[in-house]
Chain A
Amino acid sequence: MSKKVYIILIPIVIIGIIIAVYALRQRDQTEWATTQDFVMDTLATQKLYGSDGSAGSELMERLSTSLSMYVDGSEIDRINSNAGKEYTSVSKDTFEIIKQSKELSEKSNGIFDITIAPVTRLWGINGKDTVPTVPKDEDIDAALALVDINRLELSQENDSVMLLDENMMIDLGGIAKGYACDKLYELYSGEKKLKAAIASFGSSILLYGDKPDKSPFNVAINSPHGENQFLGIVKLKAGKNGKFISTSGGYERFFEVDGKKYHHIFDAQTGRPANTDLISVTVITDNGAESDYLSTLLFIKGKNSLSQYMDKYGIIAVDEDNNVYISDGLKDDFELSEDLGFKLGELQ
């Protein structure tokens, strides 16, 4: 072959190799399977590398039905109907989440309480066919008298549960999504071919495994002000232990009466939407139910309580003056959006 041919050929081969490598990386990205399911009053999505996600969809559907207080005949509905009457025997999963919820409710000193349902029902904020209203003070007090985690009894013997007083009710809305992430984690761990997965219930997320290119997962946190902006992006490695993330904020689900906004995160001590100086709390930890519980608890407790949790968990919190507080362990992995008025703050 003549020399001139080589002059053309060598660059072509090199360019060909570059394009092939690039194309292979592109193919990696398209091998993610995705699912969309309408469960737990939200859109749940899965993105999986190495599995089709049908088992996950089934699991989400099953949990959504059994854990909802609004589905007639669901396990929670049966417990609520039997309040003040008798024990209700439930499935292992349901018993497990109620047990964990009771422990967490007790730990929160009455701020977080899964027997809050008479209050949330009264406000009509989480129900499907109810119109949100601001109840009268005496009605709130009456509903609040029914909120008491100590009057929820568990019997380990045959996995049964009883609310001791009539009209008491359980609402697992504050923890069910996080718990579902825990159950999905169990499922994913057993799937040998599954390399990486992202399961999302909007406010609670599970990251599992390693992405094909070994880069960390990029999780964008929505701005508490809506406006289709992101507060920032946090880079997280998950591995086989998984990472669980939950966000609580009063900005997405709320209603307005006489110009005043009422959000959906209730303080079980007052029976009213939490009066807090925080507008968004994100918690990253290694258990889903705990991350869901903690983001709610810290949102209600407010800024002053943050410092005692900052070292133990991965926390990103925003106060009403747009100061952003981040755990030291996350600072290098968090990129705050510029030009949105957020600034890094220091806790006293």
Chain B
Amino acid sequence: MRNTMQDTSSPKFFKKSDIIIILLILLAAIGFLLWQRAMPAATTATISIDSSVRRTIDLSTAKDEVFRIDGYDNIAFEIKDGAIRILESDCHDRICVRVGFISKKGQSAVCLPNRTVVELSGDGDIDVVIS
């Protein structure tokens, strides 16, 4: 009874200290969201053969390895330190191998004779690359 009396007699619903608590929680939450956005966005490597996706790899967490895609032994890929490359290919021009390691969104390594594409995507600014 006494508490209720005090509440209604108070001209404001929230005390100054309450508003400070609300602001602090908000600040902490917004800070967290900003921190999350500022984190380097995960880069995903997508390997497609014959226009269909065969494997997607999160490069930020991927372990270093050399691998091939089942059924397509003529081309090998390597992941190292968050970057990926076409390591070996039986194509004649070897343009795809010459590309080397790629690690940034928008980059790609393409093997036309083997119809193989490694493409990097993720949050970021680049919509398309011209070369």
Interface residues of A (CB under 8 A from B): 3, 6-8, 10-11, 14-15, 18-19, 22, 29, 35-38, 41-43, 47, 198, 200, 202-205, 207, 211, 217-222, 226-228, 230, 233, 245-247, 249, 252-253, 282
Contacts and interface: CB of A to CB of B under 8 A. Distances in A.
B128 A14 contact: no
B126 interface: yes
Contact of A252 (B30, B95, B106, B128): B95
B128 A219 contact: yes
Contacts of A37: 51
- For A8, A29, A211, A220, the residue with the greatest tally of chain B CB atoms inside 10 Å of its CB is A220
Interface residues of B, number: 36
A43 B112 contact: yes
B131 A247 contact: yes
Contacts of A282: 130
A228 B131 contact: no
B57 interface: no
A14 B115 CA distance: 49
A42 B26 CA distance: 51
A246 B128 CA distance: 13
A247 B130 contact: yes
B62 interface: no
Closest 3 pairs between A and B when the two form their complex, measured CB to CB: A222-B131, A11-B25, A36-B51
Interface in B1-53: 7, 13-14, 18, 21-22, 25-26, 29-30, 33, 48, 51
B130 A222 contact: yes
Contact of B22 (A11, A19, A230, A247): A11
A245 B112 contact: no
B128 A11 contact: no
Contact of B128 (A18, A29, A42, A205): A205
Given A11-B26, A219-B128, A36 B101 contact: no
